[in-house]
């Protein structure tokens, strides 16, 4: 286990998965007002000229204000507003955000045609000064611009998380799934916290070869604080520098940019933390620790020269895999629990399949995967029904392009409206129902998927060269977790003090920046049979 870091000046409630850090803002000074006014005037003129030249050629979209365009039209839960506009303006529409064109893609066909088949044009990232440059130093894969460094990091992550390579992580994922069952047996009331910790522990064990993290482990909070800072930094309006990028060039020592000092300080601390994790994992692997030797980081270090990555690159690449995977996997597990209490008929059918294949004398394993088609379909439907990343991460076009008569200029921001695609009534007529069998053929044994969904049935992992690098790992985790949870427990609606069932709202999603999840809701979780505890304990002992 790596040394803990005690330099954090933030705390996080154990019930909270998202940290909104307090950040000092830009200090306005009177002597810069005149220069700032001139810059804003020039900016406004540039906006008007660009809008006049391109607006008629862009895809259709809602009208906006002069200069500002649609900047005030999108507020909270943007994916819902975008989906409403998609119904009005079609599969591709555009917005004007103060002179910057936003192109929103809303169907599988359009997204696949552009993001998959023209990936060389649509694989760049938009400028993110705080998240992409200051907090993460330009080496966080999610925000890294499309180029040589991104290709090296992407190649390394794909090699370690390919479909075949991911099989080496199955023992860790099974261990975590069994531990999750034990945690829920001991304390079902804190089920949400158990899901979050299990997801984090699973991916950290795969990345660094660590033993399972304990509930009070300071390291869990430390890393969640890191992901919380990044997630909060991409919220619209959080930092003025995103709208006025020239502010980033003001030296930190002037005292005029405390937000920059804050970001640079945390970048140094997080770099030190992640590099220490690499050093610790390398040392453990050299000592013969089998978990460390099979870890993601050990593979990076072993192939460092071939991948062309520095120690800092490897450290941040591993950190990226945690940041991109832990919150999203935990969110999808929470969504699965929501689906089970709202659709008891699905739960009953899934449990019948598990009982027929696995029985009650042992817990599910990956060896059962081929014989559990309905459970595999449950994984797909969980990812489709309520996706935790409804808009993905914004992209930028690297050159001018035309699509079906519409002009898409170089530097345009491109959003993949995953929420709209996963709930497209033309593809999923009953999209609001949780119905896993939609992904099975008439025999109920073979998986099927709509066109342009990468044979997954959904597009939650994205498109093209920016598709989620860890989707094989995520699919494995969700399969074994769902199988074990359904084998062990019944999930039902909780009751209030009057004995009335409490029905959560399936459309209530909490916006956390890049990741959205349902707010906390009560749930009754009970063992399916009296031998669950003894069986799972025996299975865990055999894995030691």
Residue range 277-311, pLDDT digits in tens? 999 999 999 999 999 999 999 999 999 999 999 99
Query: What does the DSSP 8-state code read for residue 76?
Result: S
Numbered residues of the known binding site for heme: 468
Q: What residue ranges do the domains of the chain occupy?
A: 30-543
- How is residue 377 written in tokens? 């379909």
Task: For domain 30-543, give its CATH number from 1.10.630.10, 3.20.20.120, 1.10.10.10, 3.40.50.1010.
Answer: 1.10.630.10
Q: Could you give the CA distance from residue 213 to residue 221 in angstroms, rounded to a whole number? A: 11
pTM here is 0.88
Share the mean pLDDT of the chain: 88
Can you give the pLDDT at residue 72? 87
Residue range 74-116, pLDDT digits in tens? 877 899 999 999 999 999 999 998 888 999 999 999 999 999 9
Can you give the pLDDT at residue 207? 95
More confident residue, 376 or 24: 376
Can you give the pLDDT at residue 71? 85
Type and span of the H or E element at 305: helix 304-307
Which residues on adjacent β-strands are paired with residue 413? 102, 396
- Which residues lie below 8 Å from residue 144, measured CB to CB, with a gap of 6+? 125, 132, 138, 150, 153
- Of the candidates 337, 330, 335, the residue with the CA atom closest to the CA atom of residue 493: 337
Numbered residues of the known binding site: 468
């Amino acid at each position: 286990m790596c040394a803990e870091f005690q330099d954090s000046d933030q705390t996080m409630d154990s019930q909270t998965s998202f940290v909104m850090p307090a950040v000092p803002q830009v200090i306005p000074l009177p002597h810069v007002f005149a220069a700032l006014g001139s810059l804003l005037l020039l900016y406004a003129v540039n906006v008007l000229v660009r809008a006049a030249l391109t607006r008629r050629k862009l895809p259709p979209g809602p009208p906006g204000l002069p200069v500002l365009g649609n900047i005030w039209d999108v507020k909270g839960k943007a994916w819902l507003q975008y989906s409403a506009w998609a119904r009005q303006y079609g599969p591709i529409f555009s917005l004007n955000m103060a002179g910057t064109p936003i192109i929103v893609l809303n169907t599988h066909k359009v997204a696949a045609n552009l993001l998959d088949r023209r990936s060389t044009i649509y694989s760049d990232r938009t400028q993110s000064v705080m998240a992409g440059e200051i907090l993460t130093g330009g080496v966080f894969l999610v925000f890294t611009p499309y180029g040589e460094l991104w290709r090296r990091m992407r190649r390394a992550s794909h090699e370690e998380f390919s479909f075949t390579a991911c099989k080496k992580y199955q023992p860790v994922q099974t261990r975590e799934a069994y531990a999750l069952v034990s945690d829920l047996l001991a304390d079902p009331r804190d089920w949400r916290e158990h899901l979050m910790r299990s997801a984090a522990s699973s991916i950290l064990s795969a990345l660094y070869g660590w033993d399972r993290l304990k509930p009070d482990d300071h390291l869990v909070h430390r890393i969640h604080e890191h992901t919380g800072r990044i997630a909060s930094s991409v919220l619209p309006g959080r930092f003025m520098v995103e709208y006025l990028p020239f502010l980033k060039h003001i030296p930190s020592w002037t005292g005029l940019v405390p937000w920059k000092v804050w970001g640079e300080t945390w970048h140094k601390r997080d770099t030190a933390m992640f590099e220490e994790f690499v050093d610790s994992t390398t040392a453990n692997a050299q000592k013969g620790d089998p978990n460390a030797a099979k870890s993601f980081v050990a593979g990076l270090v072993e192939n460092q020269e071939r991948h062309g990555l520095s120690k800092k690159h490897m450290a941040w690449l591993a950190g990226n895999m945690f940041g991109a995977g832990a919150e999203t996997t935990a969110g999808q597990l929470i969504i699965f629990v929501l689906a089970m209490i709202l659709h008891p008929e699905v739960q009953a059918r899934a449990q019948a399949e598990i009982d027929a294949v696995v029985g009650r004398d042992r817990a599910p394993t990956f060896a059962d995967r081929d014989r559990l088609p309905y459970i595999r379909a449950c994984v797909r439907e969980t990812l489709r029904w309520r996706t935790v990343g409804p808009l993905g991460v914004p992209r930028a076009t690297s050159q001018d392009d035309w699509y079906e008569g519409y002009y898409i200029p170089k530097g345009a921001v491109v959003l993949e409206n995953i929420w709209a695609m996963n709930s497209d009534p033309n593809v999923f007529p009953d999209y609001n129902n949780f119905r896993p069998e939609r992904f099975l053929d008439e025999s109920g044994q073979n998986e099927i998927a709509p066109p342009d969904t990468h044979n997954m049935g959904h597009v939650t992992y994205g498109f093209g060269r920016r598709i989620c690098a860890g989707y094989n790992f995520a699919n494995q985790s969700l399969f074994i977790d769902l199988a074990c949870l359904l084998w062990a427990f019944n999930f039902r609606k909780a009751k209030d003090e009057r004995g009335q069932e409490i029905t959560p709202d399936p459309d209530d999603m909490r916006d956390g920046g890049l990741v959205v999840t349902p707010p906390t809701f009560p749930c009754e979780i009970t063992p399916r049979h009296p031998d669950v505890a003894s069986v799972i304990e025996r299975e865990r002992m055999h894995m030691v």
